[in-house]
Structures are given as C-alpha cells and as structure tokens.
Amino acid sequence: RLTGQQQEINSLMQRKSAVDEENARLKNEFGNLNRKFKDKSQELKDTEECARKKEEQNRLVIKNLEEENKGLNICCADLLSDLEKLRKQEAQWKREKSGNDARIKNLETDLAGTREQVESLHSICINLSSRVAVEQEELFRKDCDVVRSK
C-alpha cells in the first residue's frame, strides 16, 4: 500500500512539476505578451500623437490655403473688373476710331475735290494771265501807236 501511495505521490509530484513548468512557461509567455502589449500600447500612443500632430498641421495648411484662396479670388475679381473696364474702353476706342476713320475719309474726299478745284482755278488763272499778258501787249502797242500818231 505504501508503494501505491508512493507511486501516487510520485505521479502527483510529476504532475505538479509539469504544472509548475507549464505555469512558468505561461508566466513567461504572459510576461512576453504583456511587454508586447505595452510596446504596442506605446506605439499606438505614438501613432495617435503623430496623427494628431499631422491633423493639426493639415488643419493649419488648409486654413492657410483657404486664406490664400480668398486673396486669389479677390485678385481674380479685381482682374475681371479691370478686364471688363478695358473691354468697354476698347469698344469706345473702336467707335471713336471708326468715327475718326469716317471723318478722315470725308476729309480726304474733300481734299481731293479741293485739289481738283485748285487745279482748275490754277488752269483758269494761267489762261487769264496769258490773256492779260496778250491784252497788256496789245495795249502797250496801241499806246505806242497813239504816241507815234501825236
């Protein structure tokens, strides 16, 4: 009976030893997992902090871009306004140019007519001058004849 109990004790001691080994292994594994958990927790905190900082940076970038966009929109509106003014001014100048071109054409036509008149009058003047010269010559001859006859 003692031997049976001794065997049972030995068997229980072996089981206890196996359980102790398993316990030690599980404690070791638990320690390793706990360290990994802490490492991962710290990594998660670091990642969250990094994401928070990145998000804050992105917010600032977006805010700055929105401000810049407002400025550019104002600039675009001013440029469009200037463009519209310049287009109106261009249309005005085109109308004025068209009127001036018409006036120039009329003046050129009048000038051509006036030149023709001047040329015609000049021709008449030359003819009259020739006739006056002929008449003066004849008058001179007649004066000479009158003087001779006296």
d(CA 114, CA 106): 12
* DSSP tally for the chain: helices H, then strands E: 1, 0
Give percent of the chain above pLDDT 70. Answer: 99
* pLDDT band with cut points at 50, 70 and 90 for residue 150: confident
In DSSP notation, 6-27 reads HHHHHHHHHHHHHHHHHHHHHH
pLDDT, tens digit, for every residue of 48-95? 999 999 999 999 999 999 999 999 999 999 999 999 999 999 999 999
- Could you tell me what percentage of the chain is helix, strand and coil, using 3-state DSSP and rounding each to the nearest 5? 100, 0, 0
Q: Which residue has the tokens 């804050």?
A: 56
**What is the gyration radius of the CA atoms in the chain, in angstroms?**
61
